[in-house]
Amino acid sequence: MLQATVAIQRCLSPQELNWVRQHNIQALQVWVSDLPTNYIPPRAASHWNINAVSALIDLTNYADRDIPDNLQDGFPLLGEIPGLSIFPALSKPRIAKWSRSHLSTSHSNLCKVASYLNKTVSDERLQQAVISDVYDEIGLGRAEGPYTLHSLPQGIDFASPLFAIDQSDKVRLISNYSFSVGGRAFNQGATTLHKVEMPRLPHVAQLLVQLDFPPEAILHIGRFDHQSAYRQIPITRLDSFKAAGMFIDNDNMPKVFVPRVCPFGASASVSNFLRISELHCHLMRCLAMCNCFAYMDDFFPVELAECSGSAMEFFYFLHGLTGAKIKHAKTIPPAEETVLLGLQASYILFPLTMTQLDITTVITNIIRQPSKLLDAMHTDSVNSLSLFQEWIPSVPLSRGTSLKVCIVRQHPDYRASLLASGLPFLPEAQQQLVEASLQSATWRSYRCALKVYLLWSWDTFPSTPAIPASPERIRAFPTTRLSHVRYLPALRKAHLFLQYPLQFDDPLTKAIARGCSNALSQQRKEKEGISLHFLESLVRQVTLHKLHLFKALIVLAYCFSCRVPSELLNESNRSLHIHENTVTLRLFRRKNTTKSTTMCRRCTCHILGASLCPVEATKSLIALPIRSMSLSTFNNLLRLCATRAGFGPRYQLLSSHAFRRGFITDMATAGFSDQNIDKAGGWSFSKTKSVYILQHH
């Protein structure tokens, strides 16, 4: 299927592929609303939209057709574990030593398990983590109990010890299902006929080479994590009794609990979760034509730069459709250096901006017991904020559930989520006027900041309203990551739009924000500029790789000393016209002025050659079907081509303003007056201009 996605990506332009993905999202939203209700998810995993999963499997002709039944009735932990339909067969199958009925023991053997726990439990912190986790699982409906050894319900006659291991970033709870209880271990009751293989990073790198992307192609990669991993997947009732775990409670008494979802430590949990991972990868490949890989609960789509945004948007939409939960706090935004599958990977990437907030996450953080409300939403296939906003239940809700709907729709966090997702949060007339008050780029930055804050707040302070933001929370926000301090002005504006009081505008919070800003300034790297001399080498390299659009843009960026993001790449803000040997660039909006700006440049073919002539660059740009690109693609191409043109190890310090810096420095070196330099660069403050020149002059 991956070969098919690559073949499609070769036939379609990035713009066409982005359009197809957007179209498929809209079509699937309509299609899923008419699905029959054949499946009912179990209480322990009520977030799954099994009817949509079943329909998607039929739609894409996926080989593993037992997943919907397993999601409803539970995945097996004992007996023959499914997976042979999608995983390769083992040359030496692992055959179970015991059947389910053999996994039964006496009370005295259970007492021996308790004795083993009493002897091995020494770390109080790890023991408290075990106790807390067990009671949390019981409270979430994903486990039953706890029971004392003298009051075990009928059917519970086998239990394995539960313990904790201290990992570098967390405490992991694992049941020792290889522990022998009366001469028999739980994992010895599972038969596995298939290989359990997951892609390693070298395998992915090798495959990417085989995909044969063009040499100038820039690949983006993102990483996402499923929330609670195995614990999203229900298990069969019969196997859950045999999978019972034993732990030492706060009263130093051994207790037994029964998991309702796949536990850590069971060999079958790996196969069960891999089936879910492979299903989502298959759907991403079929419906979004995306090169998506999975390593257990880690997903990493690999895409061409121009298509990464739509791939990420589809990933979030798909999970909302199936009901699978994403742990947003563990999302790793793409970067040039990133840790992937435990290895350090170097890719040329771009910052990820999420386009959707998970409606389930929003409701779970507003309502303490939302299971009935979520069940009603799943029945009506309400899986996004926009659908919930317009939702009229097909079946009358109970009085309590109706009240919860009203609470959610009036809750500040829900209204903030609407604002963060670009959905109406005010009456229509007011909404239009408010949106017209700011530029679209400003709105995007505000929404991105609000999303980051909401997801951070819900993860750090669960079941606590994020809006209105308290001073304590805002003070903690930038200290978790210094870059968050840049979001504070956007959060202030969001509170004003939502008409909530600003409680964090006090002197202490301002001092902390100022300190974070100063720390960021000290970390800021020196920037590089591109002079006319190096621009010539860069253009030769770009021409060699036939990057016609990029070539035209960088020549114009230098000749007009443009602010690339807002002036050159924003097609709605610029107008280019050629008259004889002169090209005119009109900027409808420019920084530091309220009026439009018009600049003219003459043909320089007789002096610098046609490759550096602004008139020839404009002709080339006008003749192209696509006349702009994203800022991330521009910067990535700049650094890549600069490396190949011999710029040296400081290529990482190049950005879109490099042409502006180089042009203005060349003007200063040539002895132009301050007035001419200010006019060419559109500066109103000489201090900013002097910083640009002093760095390179």
Handedness of CA 328, 519, 648, 564 (dihedral sign): positive
Whether 517 is covered by a domain: the verdict is yes
pLDDT band, residue 221 (cuts 50/70/90): confident
- Average pLDDT on 488-503 reads 88
Residue 694 structure tokens? 């002093």
Structural domain contains residue 569: yes
Q: Is residue 58 part of a domain?
A: no
Q: Examine the domain organization and report whether 501 and 559 are in the same domain.
A: no
Burial class (CB in 10 A: 0-12, 13-18, 19+), 256: buried
Residue 566 and residue 519 in one domain: no
Q: Has residue 23 got a pLDDT over 80?
A: yes
Highest mean pLDDT among 57-71, 80-94, 520-534: 57-71
Long-range CB contacts for residues 144-147, cutoff 8 Å, separation at least 24: 144/257, 144/258, 144/260, 145/255, 145/256, 145/257, 145/258, 146/247, 146/249, 146/255, 146/256, 146/257, 147/255, 147/256, 147/257
- Residue 110, both tokens: 């259970």
| Containing structural domain, residue 375 | 359-523
At 112, the amino acid letter reads K
SS in 3 state form for 568-610? HCCHHHEEEEEECCEEEEEECCECCECCCEEEEEECCHHHHCH
Confidence of residue 204 (pLDDT cuts 50, 70, 90): low
SS3 assignment for 445-504: HHHHHHHHHHHHHHHHCCCCCCCCCCHHHHHHHHHHCHHHHHHHHHHHHHHHHHCCCCCC
Look at strands 190-194 and 245-248 and give their pairing: unpaired
Q: Are residues 540 and 658 in the same domain?
A: yes
The strand pair at 574-579 and 582-587 is best described as: antiparallel
When the pLDDT of each residue in the chain is averaged and rounded to a whole number, the result is 82
Considering the domain architecture, whether residues 589 and 508 belong to the same structural domain is answered as no
Whether the pLDDT of residue 235 is over 90: the answer is yes
Determine the pLDDT at residue 344. Answer: 38
Judged by average pLDDT, the poorest of 3-12, 62-71, 275-284 is 3-12
**Preceding amide of 468 cis, omega within 30:** yes
Phi, psi of 347 (to 5 degrees): -135, 160
pLDDT of 412: 93
Q: What is the pLDDT of residues 587-603, one digit of tens each?
A: 888 777 778 889 899 99
Same-domain pairing of 588 and 450: no
Amino acid identity for residue 345 in this structure: A
Helix (H, G, I), strand (E, B) or coil at 157: coil
Q: Using an 8 Å Cβ cutoff, are 571 and 440 in contact? A: no
| CATH for 570 | 1.10.443.10
What confidence category does residue 197 fall into, taking pLDDT thresholds of 50, 70 and 90? low
Least confident of 253-267, 287-301, 344-358: 344-358
Same structural domain, 519 and 636: no
Better-scored residue on pLDDT, 544 or 349: 544
Residue 598 forms part of a structural domain = yes
- Domain end call among 502, 523, 544: 523
- Of 523, 550, 583, which marks where a domain is finished? 523
pLDDT over 50 at 347, yes or no: no
Residue 191 lies in a domain: no
Q: Could you tell me which residue, 297 or 692, shows the higher pLDDT? A: 297
Q: What mean pLDDT comes out for the span 382-408? A: 88
pLDDT value, residue 171: 66
554 belongs to a structural domain? yes
Q: Are residues 582 and 475 in the same domain?
A: no
pTM above 0.85, yes or no: no
Q: 428-457 as b/e, with b when 16 or more CB fall inside 10 Å?
A: eeeeeeeeeeeeeeeeebbbbbbbbbbbbb
Q: Is the pLDDT of residue 199 over 80?
A: no
In a domain, 426, yes or no: yes
In angstroms, rounded to a whole number, what is the distance separating the alpha carbons of residues 291 and 288?
Answer: 9
Encode pLDDT of 597-629 as tens digits. Answer: 898 999 999 988 999 999 999 998 888 877 788
What is the residue whose two structure tokens read 């017991």? 369
Inform me whether the pLDDT recorded for 339 exceeds 50.
no
> What is the mean pLDDT of the segment spanning 240-264?
92
Q: How confident is the model over 403-411, as a mean pLDDT?
A: 92
For residues 510 and 635, state if they share a domain: no
Each as own residue / partner, the long-range contacts of residues 649-652 (CB below 8 Å, 24 or more positions apart, any chain) are 650/528, 651/528, 652/336
| pLDDT per residue as tens digits for the range 305-327 | 778 778 888 888 899 899 998 88
Residue 331 CA from chain centroid, whole number: 5
Say yes or no: 458 and 603 in one domain.
no
pLDDT the model gives residue 330: 63
Measured between alpha carbons, how far is 485 from 504 in angstroms, rounded to an integer? 13
**Angle between helix 308-322 and 50-60 (nearest 10):** 130
Beta bridge partners of 92: none
Residue 36, number of CB atoms within 10 A of its CB: 8
CA–CA separation, 222 and 156 (whole Å): 44
Integer-rounded Cα Rg, in Å, for the chain is 29
State the Cα–Cα distance between residues 410 and 464, nearest whole angstrom. 15
Tell me the two tokens of residue 39: 């499946």
In percent, the amount of the chain with pLDDT more than 90 equals: 27
Reply yes or no on whether the pLDDT at 582 is more than 90. yes
Nearest to 614 by CA among 679, 574, 533, 557: 557
Residues 546 and 618 in one domain: yes
pLDDT band at 148 (very low <50, low <70, confident <90, very high): very high
Same domain, 514 and 559: no
Q: What is the pLDDT of residue 11?
A: 79
Choose among 629, 20, 55: nearest CA to 289: 20
Q: How many domains does the chain contain in total?
A: 2
Whether residue 575 sits in one domain with residue 475: no
Banded model confidence at residue 293, pLDDT cuts 50, 70, 90: confident
Q: List, for residues 635-692, the tens digit of each pLDDT value.
A: 878 888 888 888 776 766 788 888 888 888 888 888 888 778 777 777 666 656 666 6
| Domain termination residue (choose one: 493, 523, 553) | 523
For residue 637, count other CB atoms closer than 10 A to its CB: 23
Residue-level pLDDT at 332 = 55
Note whether residue 223 is domain-resident.
Answer: no
pLDDT at position 422: 85
Whether the per-residue pLDDT at 168 is higher than 70: the answer is no
